[in-house]
Amino acid sequence: MDAGKATLWQLRQLLDSREISSVELLSFFLQAISQHDGTLHAYLHVNERALEEAKLADEKCSRGEPSAPLTGIPVAVKDNICTLEQPTTCASLILKDFVSPYEATVVARLRRAGAIILGKTNLDEFAFGSSTENSAFGPTRNPHDVQRVPGGSSGGSAAAVAAGFCPAALGSDTGGSIRQPAAFCGVVGLKPTYGRVSRFGLVAFASSLDQIGPITRGVRDAALIFSIIAGHDRYDTTSVTEPVPDYSRFEYPADLTGLRFGLPREYLSGEVAGPVKDALSRVSRLIEGLGATVEEVTLPHTSAGIAVYYIIATAEASANLARFDGIKYGYRSRHHRNLRELYMFTRGEGFGQEVKRRIILGTFVLSSGYYEAYYLKAQRVRTLIRNDFLEAFQKVHLLLTPTTPELPFLLGEKSKDPLKMYLSDIFTVNANLAGLPAISFPVGKSTEGLPIGLQIIGPAFQEELILKAAAALEQALS
C-alpha cells in the first residue's frame, strides 16, 4: 500500500498488524517532503524530533502497550496554531522564528491521542486570503497543477494532504479557509459548529468566526480527527459544553433514505463555472438515487454575505492584531527613535500588504462616525443571514451547495484585484456568519484534471448528520 494515499484507518491497521513501523511511516513522509515540497512549499517547518517520537511509539507497541487512535501517525498543523518547540509564524515576518510558550488545546489533544506533529503548514499571512499567495515566505502550489493555487488560507494543509506529505492536517476556517482549499486540492475539509472545537492557541483572526477543523483524505478520517479535537475547553470561553459523540464509531450508511436536501436558489444564480454546476447536478441525481429528496430552498440574504463578512472579520482582525507592536514578542524594527515610530515601523515592516489592507478597513469601520453605519448594520444583517438558515432547516435536513464558484485559478490571476479574490469565498462565508457546521468533499475532476468539491451545510451541532451524508456520497461516488 502507498502510504501517501492511505487513510488514517488503513495506517492504523498497518501499524497494529506490524506490517509497517511508525519509523518507516515517518521516514516515508519525510522523504516525500524532502523530494517534492521544494516545488509545492506546503510546509514552513518540519519537526526535527518527529523520528524520535516515532521510535518511542514503536517501543510502546513492542512492549504491548495499548495504542491510542493516532499512535505513531503523523499529522500536520497550520502555522497559526500554537505548538511547543516548533515555530508559530502565521506566515508573517512579524512572527518569524517565534516559538509559543504554550500549546493549543487541539494540538495537546492530538498528542494525547498518540499523533506525531509532523510540521507546520503554509498559509496566507494571519489567514488573510483565499489562495496561500499572501504568505511572507512564498506561495504554496496546487499538487494537481503547480501553476495553480491550492486555495486558502489553509492551502498548505490541504496541499500537504493531497500531495501525500501527511495523512491528515489541521486548518482554521474563518470564512471558508478549510473548505475552499479542500475543494481546490481534492480532499475533505470540515468546519465545525462555532464553539464545538477550542480556539485556545489559535492566533485569532476574527474571534466570532474562527474555527479549527480537520483536512483529510476521506470523510471517516475527518470524523476521527474531529472526535479527538472537539469538546469543551475551560481555556476557551466560547467553547460549548455540548456532549461530543464518538463520530469515528458511527455506522455510516450506504444510502440516504429519509433525508431532505435543499439546493439554495441564490447559490446557483451567480457566476458558477460549468464543471461545478455539472457536478452539482450529477450529485443531486445521485442523492435521489440513494433514497433522499432534493428540493429548492431560498436564503434571501445570501448576496449580503461577502459585504457583512468583510466588515465584521476586518473589524475583529484590527482589534486582534493590535497586540503585534514590537514590544513583548515578535519582530521589532531597529529604525525607531521614539515609541510612536517603534509601532509604525514595526507594523509597517512586519505586516504584508493584505494584512495592512484589512487592518485599515477594520479600523475604519470601527471608527467614530462609521461604527453604526457599517459594523452595527453588518451585525444586524448577520442575524438575518442566520435566520435564513434557521428557516430553511425547518423544511430540509441539510443544504447542498458548491464549495467554490470556480476551479482552482492560476497563481497571480487575482493578486491585483482583492475584490475578485474575496468573491472566491462567496459560498462559504455565510456558514461562518451563522456559526453552522459544513463539510467540503471531492466529487470528481474537470476535463482539465482539476478537483471539484461540493459542500454540505447542516444545523448547529449536527456534524453527525453532515458526516453521515458526506460518507454515503463519498462511497457512492467511489
Q: Which residues are catalytic?
A: 78, 153, 177
Residue 283 to residue 301: CA distance in whole angstroms: 25
Count of other CB atoms within 10 angstroms of residue 280: 21
Cell of 458: 447542516
C-alpha dist (Å) from residue 433 to 382, 389, 430: 6, 11, 5
**If DSSP states are collapsed to H, E and C, what string results for 201-234?**
CECCCCCCCCEEEEEECCHHHHHHHHHHHECCCC
Cell of 440: 467540503
Count of other CB atoms within 10 angstroms of residue 62: 10
Would you say 401 and 263 are in contact if contact means Cβ atoms under 8 Å apart? yes
Would you say 355 and 313 are in contact if contact means Cβ atoms under 8 Å apart? no
Count of other CB atoms within 10 angstroms of residue 35: 9
User: Which residue is listed with cell 423544511?
Assistant: 395
Phi-psi map region of 164: left, alpha, beta (phi>0 left; psi -120 to 50 alpha): left
Residue 24 to residue 20: CA distance in whole angstroms: 6
User: Which residue is listed with cell 507592536?
Assistant: 325
Residue 399 to residue 64: CA distance in whole angstroms: 46
C-alpha dist (Å) from residue 387 to 160, 277, 431, 435: 37, 26, 12, 12
C-alpha dist (Å) from residue 120 to 27, 71, 161, 318, 329: 17, 19, 13, 25, 20
Q: What angle do CA 188, 192, 193 make, to 5 degrees?
A: 150
Would you say 330 and 98 are in contact if contact means Cβ atoms under 8 Å apart? yes
Residue 59 to residue 65: CA distance in whole angstroms: 9
Q: Nearest 5°: phi and psi at 163?
A: -85, -5
Write the DSSP string, 386-398: HHHHHHHTTT-SE
Instruction: Measure CA of the first residue to CA of the last residue in the chain; give whole Å.
Output: 18
